[in-house]
Amino acid sequence: MSKPKVALKMPIVKEMEPGTYFWCACGESKSQPFCDGSHKGTDFRPVVEKIESSKKVAWCGCKHSGNKPFCDGTHSKV
């Protein structure tokens, strides 16, 4: 499988409302951290994350987290 493009070397912190979100796993989306379909024709698929209640989320921006779709600090090593 291909390696994702590093979109940002930092988390993308957002206040999120309940709902289903599609996190970009390829790093090519113009709508980071969310999927815009840019992965078409690749091995990548978005990660589906269901948020049950309003909360602040640190989405992974580097796309290499061991806790996808959330930031685990890996961006400091890529």
Asked if residue 1 has pLDDT above 80, the reply is: no
β-sheet bridge partners, residue 15: 56
The whole domain housing 49 covers: 12-77
Compute the distance between CA of residue 53 and CA of residue 19 in angstroms, rounded to an integer.
8
Does residue 27 sit within a domain? yes
Per-residue pLDDT tens digits for 3-31: 999 999 999 999 999 999 999 999 999 99
Asked if residue 71 has pLDDT above 90, the reply is: yes
pTM: 0.94
Does residue 1 sit within a domain? no
Domain count, the chain: 1
What's residue 2's pLDDT?
Answer: 85
Compute the distance between CA of residue 72 and CA of residue 41 in angstroms, rounded to an integer.
28
CA distances from 63 to 18, 44, 46, 54 (A): 23, 11, 11, 23
Cα-Cα-Cα-Cα dihedral sign, residues 51, 70, 8, 34: negative
Does residue 35 sit within a domain? yes
Averaged pLDDT, 32-56: 97
Does residue 2 sit within a domain? no
Does residue 59 sit within a domain? yes
Per-residue pLDDT tens digits for 30-42: 999 999 999 999 9
Q: What's the mean per-residue pLDDT of the chain? A: 96
Does residue 6 sit within a domain? no
